Amino acid sequence: MRRVAIVGVGMSKFGEEWTRGYRDMLIEAGSRAVEDAKLSGAEIDCMYVGTMAPGSLVGQEHIGALVVDSMGLIPIPATRVEAACASGGVALRQGYMAIASGMHDCVVVGGVEKMTDTPGNEVASALGGAGDQEWELFMGATFPAIYALMARRHMLEYGTTEAQMASVAVKNHANSSKNKYAHFQNEITLETVLKSKEVASPLKLFDCAPITDGAAVAILMPYEQAKKHCEMPIEIIASAQASDTLALHSRESMTCIKATQIASKKAYAQAKVTPKDIDIVEVHDCFTIAEIMAIEDLGFFPKGKGGKASEDGKTALNSEISVNTSGGLKGCGHPVGATGVKQAVEVVWQLRGQGEKRQVKDANIGMTHNVGGSGATSVIHIMKRDG
């Protein structure tokens, strides 16, 4: 297999983009990535686009054709990738495999979702389809309820507290306040989180990622060709994906995501690194409890210790492990199909030293962790700075 590098990245502003649609956001993100990679459209020979529910949310299907047409890249092949909230991460993995296999030499990977034009109850129903529609959504269990069950079980087994979960939101807002692309650019207090409206006990409004519009793009090439376009190509040194049951009630445990544990072990082995070698990680914090479970499942802290580690500041910028420097899903926003690609964009910026006010000192190796549903899909990428 060939070595694979990211040579260009770009994203649109995340938030409530009332005047812009799929085309506008992807063109903005794609143009920035192409400019960053210093290449022309004629050099691109394949595209993958991660998006979860365009039909339900905006009535548009056939997203691959929409995007390739809008970006002026006809007639290259363009394929939509869907894996619920992991759609972006799985699209990145498809692009990685296309380059590694030798099938293509320049692949654009995009992620996009337009969510805020749709009433909240309809968004909840669309997202709920990422779980077991028959046994969860039909019974009234949307994702706040599913993750609330995980939180309650984690609290029971390990003594995790609501304040520890709230500390995740406080930290991620502190990071997003330094990110000009983020949905939320304001810091919050622990009291703000704890006194916010209850959504599904023990989760409150500020424990939950927002409904967001946005797009992100990364351009991949064989590592050997990357230096022609990029002074500092970022190599993808591992890509792994795993699955678990669709419904939470069928899992072995409610306090971990087994697919994350399996995928991360494969990724560490492929990259020949350990959790201690990772300087920065973007994890899938759709709810604050999800970040706590993620930093445990990825091996950064022992099972049951993620809440205390968060409370003690061990996941803040330039601490024991810098987690969600972008602000994560909670602070930067969660346009579901775009999230996995946005994570890669942030890691690339950090490894290049372009993290601005949120830059992690001497960042050399970064990781992305993107989850679909309540954990039925998990995809991991590990990236390394050149040299």
Catalytic residue numbers, as ranges: 85, 334
| Amino acid present at 68 | V
Q: How many residues does the chain have?
A: 387
For residue 379 the two structure tokens come to 């995809």
- Yes or no: say if 63 and 54 are a contact pair by the CB < 8 Å rule: yes
CA distance 44 to 320: 39
The count of other CB atoms within 10 Å of the CB of residue 271 is: 23
- Yes or no: say if 11 and 29 are a contact pair by the CB < 8 Å rule: yes
Query: Around 90, how many Cα atoms within 13 Å sit in the side-chain half-sphere?
Result: 22
Q: In DSSP terms, which residues pair with 50 in a beta bridge?
A: 81, 111
301 Cβ partners below 8 Å, 6+ apart?
Answer: 295, 309, 314
| 3-state DSSP of 142-195 | CHHHHHHHHHHHHHHHHCCCHHHHHHHHHHHHHHHCCCCCCCCCCCCCHHHHHC
The b/e string for 223-260 (b: 16+ C-beta within 10 A; e otherwise) is: bebbeebbebbbbbbbbbbbebbbbbeebeebbbbbbb
